[in-house]
Amino acid sequence: MPDTDAVIIGSGINSLACGALLARAGWRVAVLERNDWLGGAIHTAEITEPGFHHDVFSAWHPLWVGGAAHAQLGDELAQRGLEYLNTELPTATAFPDGTAAFLLRTADGNARELGPEWPHVLEKFFPNADLAFGVLGTELWSTSGLAFGAKALRRLGRAGLANFTGELLQSSRDWLQETFASERAHGVLAPWVLHTGLGPDAAASGFMTQVIAVAVQEGGMPIPRGGGARLADALVRLIRDHGGSCETNVDVERIVVRSGRAVGVQTTAGDTIEAERAVIANVTPTQLYDRLLEDVDVPAQLREAARRFRYGRAEMQIHYALSEPARWNGDERLNETAVVHVTPGLDGVSRAVNEAERGLLPAEATIVVGQPLTIDPSRAPDGRGILWIQLQELPWHVKGDAAGELDGDWTGDLKERYADRIQQRLARHIPNLESAIRARTVLSPADLERMNVNLHRGDPYGGALALDQNFLWRPFAQSPGHGTPVERLWHIGASTWPGPGLGGGSGTLVAQKLLEPPPTQRALARLRALAAR
């Protein structure tokens, strides 16, 4: 393997976005991945039956399509075969009484679905949408973070900024109950906070609810034709076209540090790959400090803080190959909706989250039902069905069952018995489900961790997103942002700001930082600009 400017450990979306941005700027990049596929939590495979192409982990790409990396790379990725498909029916909630409520692509449609309060939400949100979305794309501990804060202060004034940041910390429950009279509106929006790693009673979940609601109305639910892996494929092609390399089955076991500087990595096969300008690690803090930097002299306090880094709730996936499409009871639009949440509503989500956090299997989990064929029929043979089921309210250590029925742990057959319970509930909404099942594949939290070491303890989001590990404090207060105590070593991935999801945010922020001109050049450019005025 050639020596490089940057070695990137792991091939998740943040690695590939970072690698692509660096490679097209002329850096020699090597991405090293321990699995036999590139993309990390992006992986499309025929895991049930031949001809059924399942997104094994992540499936929905609004964060990528709305993110900064896509804005810069989208055209080049399209030239390499990436095509996004979208829908007018992005999401809905199916309630136990057989009714449903939807979040649609138009403001008028959503006013009908959510209530007359919706236009006021938009009126308040849009003038500062750049701040709301901007905070998620800014390196908060940096001069650009300061500039962002100054811009917000200039625009909003002191009282306005205090109000804006205060509202940012509100819980989803408080925001929903204060904003919408309709419990059905609460029931459509509350489950979406699960996709940010939060629960509806957590700090900042109200802000995330608003951001997601507006983002889904404006951006829909894009997915790549052929499967999520087409995004990873196109990024890999882009890196390779610019002279970079992306290797599978290479497990990095150590970051090589000389005189306080990261200069390369060593693999379990005994190879050393030198990096002249940066080592970029897409790993959890647990792996970074306990394994990759095990022999390196880092402050004891920092190592201890990394040890205390907390992981969030665990999750499970169920994949179905069906002999025919799912036919939902009630509102026919459910048959065409990309992501349906099955839940009693806000209190249902809140209860299930609370049970999981107390170590219990929830009695009535929020079932996320993904229907990729509603957008991209190419993923299964004609006339067949695929369901992508996500259960985000699970404990890693199972202390008991809130329904008093199941016991065991994730190493045994608990996952199948829990999947049976979920299936029974689903069958009440989808009467043809059980007769249509050709194959079912269940991935427990333990399976997820085994398949991707970054999904530590089955947490899909790389670490709890409680306030003290979020925003200014991600991954943790002693080491916020992406720098590390080792010069030229950068930390990216879901565990770092701006957290999980397919936006590729941390990889993009680090690439931007590395591609900044040196300070003297920046100062000269500023002087020239002043002189030209």
Ligand X SMILES: Cc1cc2nc3c(=O)[nH]c(=O)nc-3n(C[C@H](O)[C@H](O)[C@H](O)COP(=O)(O)OP(=O)(O)OC[C@H]3O[C@@H](n4cnc5c(N)ncnc54)[C@H](O)[C@@H]3O)c2cc1C
The residues binding ligand X (CB under 6 A) are 9-15, 32-35, 40-42, 57-60, 63, 251-252, 282-283, 287, 317, 390, 448, 452-455, 460-462, 493-494, 500-502
DSSP letter for 487, please.
B
Which C-beta is closer to ligand X: that of 60 or that of 328? 60
Which C-beta is closer to ligand X: that of 317 or that of 366? 317
Maximum alpha-carbon separation in the chain: 75
Which C-beta is closer to ligand X: that of 24 or that of 54? 54
Query: Which of 166, 186, 59 is CA-nearest to residue 118?
Result: 186
Which C-beta is closer to ligand X: that of 136 or that of 436? 136
Dihedral over Cα of 150, 155, 158, 159: its sign: negative
**Amino acid letter at 222?**
P
Helices (H) and strands (E) in the chain, counts: 19, 20
Q: Could you tell me the smallest distance in angstroms from the CB atom of residue 282 to ligand X?
A: 5
Q: Could you tell me the smallest distance in angstroms from the CB atom of residue 276 to ligand X?
A: 20
Q: How far apart are CA 155 and CA 131, in angstroms?
A: 10
Which C-beta is closer to ligand X: that of 266 or that of 432? 266
Residues 280 and 404 sit within 8 Å (Cβ to Cβ) = no
Residues 239 and 16 sit within 8 Å (Cβ to Cβ) = yes
**What is the chain's length?**
533
Which C-beta is closer to ligand X: that of 389 or that of 436? 389
The contacts of residue 144 (CB under 8 Å, 6+ apart) are: 138
Rounded to 5 degrees, what are φ and ψ at 135?
A: -60, -30
* E strands, 46-95, in order: 54-55, 84-85, 91-94
Tell me the CA distances in angstroms from 202 to 132, 199, 337, 463, one per residue in order. Answer: 18, 5, 28, 15
Q: Could you tell me the smallest distance in angstroms from the CB atom of residue 461 to ligand X?
A: 6
Which C-beta is closer to ligand X: that of 315 or that of 401? 315
Q: Could you tell me the smallest distance in angstroms from the CB atom of residue 115 to ligand X?
A: 27
Q: Could you tell me the smallest distance in angstroms from the CB atom of residue 386 to ligand X?
A: 14
Q: Could you tell me the smallest distance in angstroms from the CB atom of residue 517 to ligand X?
A: 26
Q: Estimate to the nearest angstrom the gap between the alpha carbon of 27 and the chain centroid.
A: 27
Which C-beta is closer to ligand X: that of 291 or that of 417? 291
Q: Could you tell me the smallest distance in angstroms from the CB atom of residue 434 to ligand X?
A: 24
* E strands, 373-524, in order: 385-394, 400-401, 437-443, 489-492
Q: Could you tell me the smallest distance in angstroms from the CB atom of residue 38 to ligand X?
A: 8
Which C-beta is closer to ligand X: that of 179 or that of 284? 284
Q: Could you tell me the smallest distance in angstroms from the CB atom of residue 346 to ligand X?
A: 22
Q: Could you tell me the smallest distance in angstroms from the CB atom of residue 370 to ligand X?
A: 8
Tokens of 348: 């249902």
Residue whose structure tokens are 């179905």: 320
Which C-beta is closer to ligand X: that of 252 or that of 361? 252
Q: How far apart are CA 317 and CA 442, in angstroms?
A: 6
Q: Could you tell me the smallest distance in angstroms from the CB atom of residue 280 to ligand X?
A: 11
Residues 23 and 245 sit within 8 Å (Cβ to Cβ) = no
* E strands, 371-503, in order: 385-394, 400-401, 437-443, 489-492
Which C-beta is closer to ligand X: that of 152 or that of 280? 280
Q: Could you tell me the smallest distance in angstroms from the CB atom of residue 322 to ligand X?
A: 20
Tell me the CA distances in angstroms from 426 to 241, 343, 433, one per residue in order. Answer: 46, 10, 8
Tokens of 195: 């996709």
Which C-beta is closer to ligand X: that of 58 or that of 110? 58
Is omega for the bond preceding 517 within 30 degrees of 0, making it cis?
A: no
Q: Could you tell me the smallest distance in angstroms from the CB atom of residue 246 to ligand X?
A: 11
| Kind and range of the H or E run holding 519 | helix 519-532
User: HEC profile for 175-209?
Assistant: HHHHHCCCHHHHHHHHHHHHHHCCCCCCCCHHHHH
Q: How far apart are CA 8 and CA 282, in angstroms?
A: 7
| Kind and range of the H or E run holding 523 | helix 519-532
Residues 210 and 125 sit within 8 Å (Cβ to Cβ) = yes
Which C-beta is closer to ligand X: that of 34 or that of 429? 34
